[in-house]
Each structure stands twice: as C-alpha cells, then as structure tokens.
Chain A
C-alpha cells in the first residue's frame, strides 16, 4: 500500500517579481517500507519536494496524500501535529538541539507526543543502542562527532515510530566512513521496522543503498532515469 502519494505537485517561489518554478508537476507514490533515493542536479527541486512531503511547506498546487488522506491544505498547527506523529526528519546539517543531550534529543519527539516516562525511557535506550550510541547518551551535541550527531538524528527521527523518514542529503557533511555507517544504520532500521525512507542525495555510493531511485530534473520526475533496482 502506498504510504505517501503526491499528485501534480507544483511549487513556485516568488521573490519580488521573480518567480522560480521549483516543482513543475510531480506525481509519485511511495510505498510502505521503501528505501528511496531522490537524485537530481542541484536546483532540481529535491529539497523542495522533501519539504512539501514532510508538511514543512505547502505546494502551490497539487495534492499530497498521507495514507490516502489529503493533507495539502492543512493550516500550520495541523501540519505541526501531523509532523509530530507521522514524519521523522534527518537533515544535512546535524540538526540536534544544542542544549540537550543525545538522550534528550531522542526523547524530545516522544515528549511532544505525550508518551509516558517509562515508555520514553525504553524507546530512547532501544534507539540509542540501535545506532550504537548507548555510551554517548549523556553527551551534548558539541561533545559528539559529526557522524555520531547524525546517528542521534536518525534515532530521533525514528523515535515516534513514524510512517516515513525524510532525509535531505544526510551524508553530505560526513566523511566516507561515517557516511557509510549512517546509511547502513538507516537501511538496517528500514528493514527491521518497515519504515518508509526517502532521502535526497548527490552521492552515487549513497544511491547504491536504495531499493528505488527517483530522478528529478527541472522540477519534474525524469522517468527514463528513475528505476527500481533489484535488491
């Protein structure tokens, strides 16, 4: 079943009189459990598409359906609520809250979702273990390496058992070894939990982990270069 469907999505940015057509009609669906790479040249609209799918931004036109429900016209608070329980994010920069420890960063979405203390603790420890950072639970972001921070971010993205994790160039700021580690963890968690992953990347090595590749070009999906590789 498709977790997320986008239909004829367009996005036009207006700065003064200048219009940028970041997306010019994108239609796609992402099934539960898929591990999809979103590729394309710089400026092709990858980040824009992720932001719209992640309900961080609204499309200029078109529809976004999450589990069959149209969510493209929700207001800001409704989108916040939707994000809170349904979507996990991993960003290119290691987007942790600087004041909180690794543990607390992973715990934060659970708190926002009103999880009880015991359930929170079990979940946080489980996830920190899954990303191999049990030892680092009480370190703050500035006491962690880039790779470690990104693994905490992955753990945080998964904490509320979201429908989907969106990652925008998650390895772009990491060296090869750390990038590989993060991708392997994401792939493993994808297989273990069945969470849908969609990640934008430029890196061919990252693409090689994908079960499916979607190619964007000038704000459109280029079907000739999109593929479902055999696993």
Chain B
C-alpha cells in the first residue's frame, strides 16, 4: 500500500532508541515465556519418564482385587501364575519387555534404627531394570537365584552408615498377614537421583521375595514396556482377561498427569500476564508515537490520506515491531532452551516430589524440552495480542481530524 510501509519503517528507524526498547520488551517477554514453558515441559516429561522407568512401566497387569495403596499380599489379590502370563505376553509383537514383580511393605533394621521400606521382588535379568543397573554407584546387581542379596538406595545406606557387603535385617508383611524377619547382605547401592525413592526402596530377587512373604509363586503385578507408549490403550484392551486389571501409564501416573494439566493452566495464565505486560509496553510506545506525530498525521491527512490508511500505517508499524521482536524472541529463547536441553540445569536437590502411592518424581538435573508446536502457538498469540493492543493508539491517530492535528504552530 503506497509507501506507507516506508513511512512506518522510517519512523521506527528514526526513533531508534524507542524502537529498540520496545523490541527488547518483546524479546524478553517471548524468550522468557518460551523458556518457562519448556522448563515445565522438561520437568513433567522428565518426571513422567522417570516414573515410568523406575516404577510404573507402560502397562501393568494386576489381579482385579489388588489395591496398590494397601500393598496387599493376600493370595486372592495376587496374580496366580505370573510366569505363564509373562511368557504369553513376551511373544506379542510391540512388547519390548515384560516381567513380574512382587511388592511388600517392610522395615529395615540396622543397629538400633528402623526405617519403613517397600520391598521389590524382581527378576534382575529383565531389561526393565536397566535403569536400576545404570543407577548402581557401588557393588552390583544380584543374581536371580541369590538367596540373601539386596540392593539398597545409596542415600538410605549412607544415613544408616551401611555399605556393600554389610548385613541388614528386613522385616516384611506376609501373605498370612503375619510378619517375617530375615538377614540380608547388601550387594549394591543405587542412586536414581530421586532421594525419596532411594530412601525407601529395597530390591531383592523375586523368588526370595516370594518365599520371604509366603506368596508362593505369585506376583503383585506384571510390568510391561511397549515399543510405542502411545499405543498403550489398545494393548491394554488386548490383554484384558477376567479377574485381571490392566492399567496404562496414564492411569498409573494419574496424579502426575493431573498436575501437568493444572500447571498447563498456570502456564497459560503466565502467558497472558507476561504478554499483557508486553502489550502494554507496545501500546505505550505507539501512543507516544501517535502523540509525537499528530502534526505528521495532519499533513498526511491534508495530502489526502484517509483515516483507514493512517490506521493501517500504525498497525504496520506495530506489526513490524511485533514480527521482528517475536522472531528475535523465539531465536533467543530457542537458543537458551536448546542449550539447557543439552546441558541440563543442575539442582542441588530434587526439583519436585509428589508423595503418592506408586508415584515418584524428578531427579536433580532438569532438561528443558523444546516444542515447535508450543513455540508456534506462543508466537502467534504474541503477534495477535500486540496487534490487538495496537488498534487503540492506531485508531486514536486515525480519529484525529486534520485541523486538530495541524493546529499549534
């Protein structure tokens, strides 16, 4: 449209400082939001990943009556023939790994101290426990037929002054609703990065756990990892059988998922607050520009420019600021996000913990997560918001009568 863009552009260049400060506001706003969003995404993706790998897996099969909160060991609440089921599921395409697990609540006794723990009877050969193998800081994973070996969290061991090779006593609830007690040797210490988990988790071979708790050959659950997590629902439907319940990672991490949604709403609010502030800065800049240029508006109007065209010129000016600012903001914010997605942000302690049954949370290092979709959404929202805000000063300029604006010599 004529040289309107040129007048608008020249005005931005002429008022270099004002334009730069406005750009800066947009850049800071956009990159801040980009970073905040990817930070939260990183926290939740990380938490979810951690939770799935350490605890829930993609799918779990349990007895229909099993209540995870009670960690029941009653035979009716356990899976009768976990090895058969495991073998069947293993053969199904798309299943990455499958393994039975037995959970029991117990107590670790060492000297005069006692600590409540959750005992995990596991098959150490399953790749599902790769994360634990990788988390070992000393010692090694026990063998499947080890009758007296356990893994203890490093932080727990430290607080009790224990190390690899030393003995501990474990007390456990049993299937008979009694308690049993036995001595074990620490084979290894692990550090998952989640203190709460490390402080309360004991691993021992499944078979030993079964005899220790009088569970026979039964298991609390069968953990399954899939090649494609997003297909969990259809696999769950396929595995459904009478007397069994099949839970997906979404159901197993429902509290975490809920808090993701809650914080998504919070992020949304933050977006609007920060963008609102940026918008006010833009509006202010443009309004100043309008006031400074009333005479110029008068001249343009005298030359025959219509108010619609003057409105367009101001919107164009705001648009140029917005496009350049948002682009720079995305670039700058994107670089920061990329950097921290590679290097990670190290925290001295756990970033967050949500105490709930079967729920663990994030470790000590956070990796931001870049989302192209969210970046596009943010850019678009910012652009639209800035343009909307620009309408007020622009229409103010357009409403000026030529005589009004030419007045004052």
Question: Which chain A residues have a beta carbon within 8 Å of chain B's beta carbons?
Answer: 51, 54, 56-57, 76-77, 80-85, 89, 91-93, 95-100, 104, 107-109, 111-113, 156
Judging by beta carbons under 8 Å apart, are A93 and B409 in contact? yes
Judging by beta carbons under 8 Å apart, are B14 and A91 in contact? no
CB-CB under 8 A from A84, the residues of chain B are 303-304
Q: Within the complex, what minimum Cβ distance (angstroms) separates B307 from chain A? A: 7
Judging by beta carbons under 8 Å apart, are B11 and A89 in contact? no
Query: When A and B form their complex, which 5 residue pairs have the shortest distance between CB atoms, in order from nearest?
Result: A84-B304, A99-B10, A56-B402, A83-B304, A57-B403
Judging by beta carbons under 8 Å apart, are B304 and A97 in contact? no
Known contacts being A91-B406, A97-B296, A97-B300, is A111 close to B3, with CB within 8 Å? Answer: yes
Q: A84-B304, A91-B406 are in contact. List 4 more A-B contacts (CB 8 A).
A: A80-B301, A80-B306, A96-B299, A100-B10
Q: Within the complex, what minimum Cβ distance (angstroms) separates B183 from chain A? A: 87
Q: Cβ of B126 < 8 Å from any Cβ of A?
A: no
Q: Mark B302-315, 1 if CB is under 8 A from A, else 0.
A: 11111110000000
Judging by beta carbons under 8 Å apart, are A80 and B305 in contact? yes
Q: Is the interface of B mostly helix, strand, loop or mixed?
A: helix
CB-CB under 8 A from B306, the residues of chain A are 76-77, 80-81
CB-CB under 8 A from B296, the residues of chain A are 97-98
Known contacts being A81-B304, A84-B303, A93-B295, is A99 close to B14, with CB within 8 Å? Answer: yes
CA distance A80 to B308 in the complex (A): 11
Q: Cβ of B347 < 8 Å from any Cβ of A?
A: no
Number of A-B contacts (CB under 8 A): 79
Q: Cβ of B355 < 8 Å from any Cβ of A?
A: no
CB-CB under 8 A from A99, the residues of chain B are 6-7, 9-11, 13-14
CB-CB under 8 A from B300, the residues of chain A are 97
Interface residues of B in 284-324 (CB under 8 A from A): 295-296, 298-308
CB-CB under 8 A from A108, the residues of chain B are 2-3, 303
CB-CB under 8 A from A56, the residues of chain B are 301-302, 401-403, 406
Q: Within the complex, what minimum Cβ distance (angstroms) separates B281 from chain A? A: 22
Q: Within the complex, what minimum Cβ distance (angstroms) separates A124 from chain B? A: 13
Judging by beta carbons under 8 Å apart, are A83 and B3 in contact? no
A92 closest partner in B (C-beta): B409
CA distance A100 to B80 in the complex (A): 86
CA distance A100 to B293 in the complex (A): 14
Q: Within the complex, what minimum Cβ distance (angstroms) separates B29 from chain A? A: 27
Judging by beta carbons under 8 Å apart, are B302 and A89 in contact? yes
CA distance A76 to B298 in the complex (A): 13
CA distance A98 to B302 in the complex (A): 15
CB-CB under 8 A from A156, the residues of chain B are 303
CB-CB under 8 A from B6, the residues of chain A are 99-100, 104
Judging by beta carbons under 8 Å apart, are B304 and A112 in contact? yes
Most chain-A CB neighbours within 10 Å: which of B304, B306, B406?
A: B304
B299 closest partner in A (C-beta): A95
The 14 listed contacts between A and B (C-beta, < 8 Å) are A56-B401, A57-B402, A80-B307, A81-B304, A84-B304, A89-B299, A89-B303, A96-B299, A97-B7, A99-B11, A99-B13, A104-B6, A107-B3, A156-B303
CA distance A174 to B383 in the complex (A): 46
CB-CB under 8 A from B298, the residues of chain A are 95
CB-CB under 8 A from B9, the residues of chain A are 99
Q: Mark B3-38, 1 if CB is under 8 A from A, else 0.
A: 100110111011000000000000000000000000
Q: Within the complex, what minimum Cβ distance (angstroms) separates A106 from chain B? A: 11
Known contacts being A57-B401, A91-B406, A99-B7, is A80 close to B299, with CB within 8 Å? Answer: no
CB-CB under 8 A from A83, the residues of chain B are 302-304
B9 closest partner in A (C-beta): A99
Judging by beta carbons under 8 Å apart, are B307 and A112 in contact? no
